[in-house]
Amino acid sequence: MPEGGSPGSEGGSPGSRRKAVGVDPLAGLDPQLLAPLLGEPVPGADDEEDAIPVVEGAPPGTPVEATSRGEKLRRAGDWREARAAFEEALRLEPASVEALMGLAEIHARRNDHVKAAELLSRAREAAPDHLEVAIRLGRELGRRTAYDEAEAALLRALQIEPRSARALCERGIVLAKRGLYPAAIAELSRGLDVDPRLARASYWLGVCYNQLDKLEEATESLERALVLDPEDGRTHYHLGIVYDRRGMMDQARAMYRRSRELAAARG
């Protein structure tokens, strides 16, 4: 983490916390204190289109009915029953793209990105031109740090739909994780030009600007991400870092405090 403290240390001189060094902007943070914040930002408005379609009135005992039931349960937060429903769908139709995506999402939310990528690879075999599969596969491969494979999947997504805001966003995130911040900023900005509601893109844009010491741009991007997704603890924490670096100590303390509250709420 930046030198001079933790999310629990409120205060310090403007120079006592420096930007995070390295590819991972959270590198060095206390894993016990910040465990709830180490995952991906909580999905915001940009993830609405991510949902698997639910087909009402599908005949019982069919893959469509089981997948729709699984997706309803997933949205309701009942991951155990959702997983059982998606697995039922796959027993009925092993190549069901929607069931594979749904089951992959369950594993992804449990931080099992290896299994999630494996399931999405199966979905890609069944539907090579499926945009959503390509985006999700790129995202999960990126979370596994399989960056070459992630970029290949996301470039495939952009071949399918060159103006896919989410594909542009996910590719920008992969570039950021590789430390290619100017390229990442360009790609994330392209995604936001297509869909300015992407909280995830605004968050990572702020991270990139912070790494390049462009603190005004970092502030603007992270504040926009916070408007789009006010419950994301990582955004609060990184905005606190940027405020801290700018000497805006009251604002920084408020962001650190709120990040701890959100971490506690997530358990």
SS3 at position 243: helix
Helix then strand then coil, % of the chain, to nearest 5: 65, 0, 35
pLDDT band at 267 (very low <50, low <70, confident <90, very high): low
Assess whether pLDDT exceeds 90 at residue 41.
no
- The pLDDT value recorded for residue 238 is 96
pLDDT band at 13 (very low <50, low <70, confident <90, very high): very low
Q: Write the pLDDT tens digit of every residue in 78-94.
A: 999 999 999 999 999 99
DSSP string for residues in 100-167: HHHHHHHHHHTT-HHHHHHHHHHHHHH-TT-HHHHHHHHHHHHHTT-HHHHHHHHHHHHHH-TT-HHH
- The pLDDT value recorded for residue 266 is 76
Assess whether pLDDT exceeds 90 at residue 4.
no
In degrees, rounded to 5, the angle at the alpha carbon of residue 141 between the alpha carbons of residues 91 and 200 is 105
Span 151-155, mean pLDDT?
Answer: 97
Contacts of 236 (CB under 8 A, 6+ apart): 226, 255, 256, 258, 259, 262
Q: Does domain 1-41+164-267 have CATH number 1.25.40.10?
A: yes
Cα–Cα distance, 125 to 129 (Å, whole number): 9
Q: Number of helices (H) and strands (E), helices first, in the chain?
A: 13, 0
Contacts of 66 (CB under 8 A, 6+ apart): 85, 86, 88, 89, 92, 99
- The pLDDT value recorded for residue 265 is 86
Q: Does domain 43-162 have CATH number 1.25.40.10?
A: yes
Q: Write the pLDDT tens digit of every residue in 171-229.
A: 999 999 999 999 999 999 999 999 999 999 999 999 999 999 999 999 999 999 999 99
- Structure tokens belonging to residue 34: 């910040």
What pTM did the predictor assign? Answer: 0.80
Cα–Cα distance, 149 to 117 (Å, whole number): 11
Catalogue the E-assigned strands of the chain: none
Assess whether pLDDT exceeds 60 at residue 43.
no
Output 41 or 92, whichever has higher pLDDT: 92
Assess whether pLDDT exceeds 60 at residue 20.
no
Span 160-167, mean pLDDT?
Answer: 95
- Structure tokens belonging to residue 7: 């999310």
Assess whether pLDDT exceeds 90 at residue 231.
yes
Ramachandran area for residue 119 (φ above 0: left; ψ -120 to 50: alpha; else beta):
alpha
Question: Hey, where are the domains in the chain?
Answer: 1-41+164-267, 43-162
Cα–Cα distance, 224 to 231 (Å, whole number): 13
Burial class (CB in 10 A: 0-12, 13-18, 19+), 147: middle
> In angstroms, how far apart are the furthest CA atoms of the chain?
64
Assess whether pLDDT exceeds 90 at residue 104.
yes
User: Taking all residues of the chain, what is their mean pLDDT, rounded to a whole number?
Assistant: 84
- The pLDDT value recorded for residue 52 is 86
